[in-house]
Structure 1
Amino acid sequence: MRIVLIGPRGSGKTTIGALLAEALGYRFFDTDVMVEKAEGMSIPAIFAERGEPAFRAAETAAIRALPPEKAVVATGGGAILLSGNVQALRTGSLAVFLDAAAAVLAARTAGSTRPPLTGLSHAQEMAAVRKVRLPLYRGAADLCIDTGMLSPADAIVRIQALLGGRGSAAVCREFVAFLQQTRMERSEWEVTRERLCGAGGMPLHGIFAVIGNPCLHSRSPELFTALFAACGMDGVYTRIEWPDLGAIMAMVRSAGVKGLSVTIPFKSDVMQYCDEITADAQAIGAVNTVIRCGDRFVGANTDWTGIRQPLAGTPPGHAVVFGAGGAARAAVYALQDLGMEVTVLNRTPDRARHMARHFGCEYGTPAAYDPEKTDVIVNATPVGMEGRGGSLLERGDLRAHQTVFDLVYTPPETELLRNARAAGCRCIRGTEMFVYQAQEQMRLFTGIAADAALIREILG
């Protein structure tokens, strides 16, 4: 197995990598050294004479030249910026993210000859660059270690302990037994059990799951299983439909699950189980993605990206959001980011009022909907979902100037969209939200950016 060390400058990748390779009896490669040897000049000289794009191209060539196994690889701090590099590094490899506080990194790299990437001071630049790259490091990592308080020798001990403790049989049996209690179909449960507890042991890149109640209708397992295969990822993506979020999160933590997709009704409640919440998720007040890095759970929100992307380019106007749950909050956030005035409509006025106060927008009940004054409609309720049917609005409630975005994606053509199409509206299927939120979720889970066209192809 190849072990790849990723992380910012100053985290100890070269020193720790050389010692780890010696301890394991593996060859050691430093991609920065490989670049300098191939180009016949130092990295500062490459930046000065040819610019960063030339360095990145040389770095990509070095990564492609790495042996596929039994090696320890120390990468440059920006190697994870290119999705293709991440995919090449992760295929058949275990990635270890070495990190430290920004102040520690700045102190360790003070006096470096590396060219600055910004106009900030050295300490400010180290903090800013680390912050921007942190989601990519977390996604691309299978193991996370803070080297701030560790000597290189202690870091080696820590890495070896983590390597030896991955995927114990007892943990596997406990997790699979928990899945057996859920509403998962027996055939799916048996496949999951074999994949996790079979002869191959725990998958190299870990366990992922969608959690919700219900979530058996979710297409996330189908999608991410296909994306993992297409991107060379050895991961298992399953589903956990269970009413007790506390029990789910306890099992997720003990089993070392790497990433979660979170759906109804847990998007707000799951926040209490996160050690850190991204700024977007904090502003929305809901989390649909949880990423594990070491012992920390990071909550993020990709729903708003999935809503914003298909609406990009829509002229600013008045938008109505039906619903007051996690998806509705993401929709309001996305619409406001696009410069639209928003009104939240919900059958329970108190819920609508609470959400409207949070975002500083208008609210009311569905009876307040005025088609003549509404340019964009977003259905963020379960109405129309497979097994429930129905439509919030009939054909006579819709106008040709409107854009109707139904976030329900099973079935892909809901009754609301059929009504909207008949009224001459611009229609956006919920599958488009699913495509773009899943694209961002894949990046957060793995550090790899899957192509939207590939996701659409998988979904059919």
Structure 2
Amino acid sequence: MRRVVLFGYRGTGKTGIGTVLARRLGVSFLDTDSLIEQQSGRTIPGIFREDGEERFRERERDAIAGLPLRDCVIGTGGGAVMDPVNMEHLRAGSVCVLLTADIATIERRLARAPRPPLTSLSSADEIREMIAHRRSQYAAAEDFCVDTSRTSTGEAADRILSLLKKGTVPAPKREAAYRWFAAGPLPAPELEDLASRLFGPGCDVQTRFLGVAGYPCGHSRSPLLFNRLFDRYHLNCHYTRFEDPSIETILRVARDIDAKGLSVTIPFKRDVMAHLDEIDDAARQVGAANTVVFACGSARGYNTDWLGIRKPLAGHAGARAVLLGAGGVAAAAAYALVDLDMEVTILNRTPAKAQALAEQSGCRWGGWDEFGRIDPDLVVNATSLGMQPDRRSPLRDDQLKKEMTVCDLVYTPPVTPLIAAARKAGCETVTGTEIFIQQAREQFRLFFGIDVPDTVIQEILA
């Protein structure tokens, strides 16, 4: 059997439920806190008090790295999810169950086994703040979610056993979802693979689904990248394409198959936000979400585009920049460039759209024909011009000067007409592939809590 790993805040029942679950499965229960105490000869509060949290986390990392790879149930410390190295070890070949409970229940349970406080807040406020701080990591840790507020340990263990055996998606919903995918443009090999995973002979009800949501999204390299990463990190997941003119339909199908997450692309990065339960601060300020994480019945939106843009351009902080375009990805680019203290002018063929984004992001704006008067240090293309099969460049060759740095957010093809022309002019260039690598790396962390090295993604996309 796959390992079953229980995550959750202290007091959600990991030890009690894990002990019962392991007994019913006929395997060992391993509690990482207990292992640390056995290996160190000291209690967890004692380690915190004498060595500090950093040393405790080192011991925790070592204990997790040494866990067996199968045939056991594992209970983790409440903060183990914060370390990407822990998540890489714990998620490999495992079914991950997030245990939750309401604040009052957790507070009552913790009162029976007190530990030194982690903050100066009251007990309830500390619980609330710590859970909020770890929220995205707990969501990344979840394959299945069980609320233990009003269950006994035995009832919660039974619920997990049912999830392991039956999953969360009944056969009729799987078949209906397949019919929707089959009616769309999904290539035959991808459709066959998806069918085998949804309801084919021996299909695994524990498999989690993710995908790119767009119209169109056939150009996306995300399915290739994510499915290779699932193999590399031994994740029981499958990534496909959700292509439809309606984001409402896409989200309905995603929920019907209990999808774990979506990468959102054109034209839905703004529209999707109206259908989410929560939106993180960056996505709210950008006004666009390119990542949706489903966890415990809730859909939370994030924006990783801006981080993908910011990292490769960090060395150009303070530059005079021109941003071409005013759509969802342009909003993320504006947010990143402003965060780098650049003097940004947004140009668009419809000046009113440039003005609207400029007012939202605190930038200057103008029409497309004003490029020549600005003399920028940096040019960022956030339009779709140059995306296959389009072979146009957003700028003429004579507008490019060797002193410029040119960044194209389009990544198919890897060398766009703009990048080719910029290189010919002697410009420094930043390709869309470089941006894609960084934003995909952040998406993977939001989906699974694992930090993938740039080099791994580069090898897959090469």
TM over 0.5: yes
2: CA distance, partners of 1:134 / 1:451: 23
2: CA distance, partners of 1:289 / 1:64: 29
1: CA distance, partners of 2:406 / 2:110: 52
1: CA distance, partners of 2:388 / 2:166: 42
Corresponding residue number in structure 2 for 1:333: 335
- Partners of 1:28 and 1:72 within 8 A in 2: yes
Note the 1:101-120 alignment, pairs <5 A. Answer: 101=102, 105-106=106-107, 108-110=109-111, 114-118=115-119
1: CA distance, partners of 2:333 / 2:208: 31
How far has the Cα of 1:107 moved from its partner?
5.1
Asked whether 1:455 is paired with 2:457, we answer yes
1: CA distance, partners of 2:368 / 2:109: 59
Corresponding residue number in structure 1 for 2:297: 295
Instruction: Give the letter aligned to residue 303 of structure 1.
Output: D
How far has the Cα of 1:121 moved from its partner?
5.2
How far has the Cα of 1:87 moved from its partner?
2.1
CA RMSD, 1 decimal: 2.2
SS at match of 1:363: strand
2: CA distance, partners of 1:282 / 1:357: 15
1: CA distance, partners of 2:207 / 2:32: 22
Q: How many equivalent pairs are there?
A: 460
Asked whether 1:31 is paired with 2:38, we answer no
- Partners of 1:102 and 1:130 within 8 A in 2: no
Corresponding residue number in structure 1 for 2:246: 244
How far has the Cα of 1:178 moved from its partner?
1.3
How far has the Cα of 1:115 moved from its partner?
4.2
Corresponding residue number in structure 2 for 1:391: 393
Cα separation, partners in 2 of 1:99 and 1:414, compared to 1, 3 Å: same
Cα separation, partners in 2 of 1:377 and 1:165, compared to 1, 3 Å: same
SS at match of 1:137: helix
- Partners of 1:140 and 1:448 within 8 A in 2: no
How far has the Cα of 1:76 moved from its partner?
0.4
Corresponding residue number in structure 1 for 2:9: 8
Corresponding residue number in structure 2 for 1:255: 257
SS at match of 2:341: coil
Select which of 346, 349, 352 maps to 1:350: 352
- Partners of 2:196 and 2:203 within 8 A in 1: no
How far has the Cα of 1:146 moved from its partner?
3.2
Corresponding residue number in structure 1 for 2:367: 365
Select which of 186, 207, 210 maps to 2:209: 207
1: CA distance, partners of 2:193 / 2:12: 39
2: CA distance, partners of 1:173 / 1:36: 49
Instruction: Give the letter aligned to residue 74 of structure 1.
Output: G
Note the 1:186-335 alignment, pairs <5 A. Answer: 186-202=188-204, 204-335=206-337
Q: Provide, for residues 234-287 of structure 1, a one-character-per-residue CA deviation record: whole Å limited to 9, x for no partner.
A: 211111222122221111111111111111011111112211111111111111
How far has the Cα of 1:52 moved from its partner?
2.8
TM-score by length of 2: 0.93
SS at match of 2:321: strand
Q: Provide, for residues 293-312 of structure 1, a one-character-per-residue CA deviation record: whole Å limited to 9, x for no partner.
A: 12111111111110011111
1: CA distance, partners of 2:127 / 2:321: 41
SS at match of 2:365: strand
Segments of structure 1 that go 5 or more residues without pairing to the other structure are none
Cα separation, partners in 2 of 1:104 and 1:189, compared to 1, 3 Å: same
Of the structure 1 ranges 352-361 and 263-272, higher mean CA displacement relative to structure 2 is found in 352-361
Cα separation, partners in 2 of 1:28 and 1:282, compared to 1, 3 Å: same
2: CA distance, partners of 1:199 / 1:61: 40
SS at match of 1:10: coil
Of the structure 1 ranges 317-326 and 298-307, higher mean CA displacement relative to structure 2 is found in 317-326
How far has the Cα of 1:384 moved from its partner?
0.6
- Partners of 2:94 and 2:235 within 8 A in 1: no
- Partners of 2:207 and 2:236 within 8 A in 1: yes
Segments of structure 2 that go 5 or more residues without pairing to the other structure are none
Q: Provide, for residues 67-118 of structure 1, a one-character-per-residue CA deviation record: whole Å limited to 9, x for no partner.
A: 3333221100121222232122122211111123556545543586544445
Of the structure 1 ranges 219-228 and 386-395, higher mean CA displacement relative to structure 2 is found in 386-395
Q: Provide, for residues 306-360 of structure 1, a one-character-per-residue CA deviation record: whole Å limited to 9, x for no partner.
A: 0011111213032221111110010011111111222221112222222222223
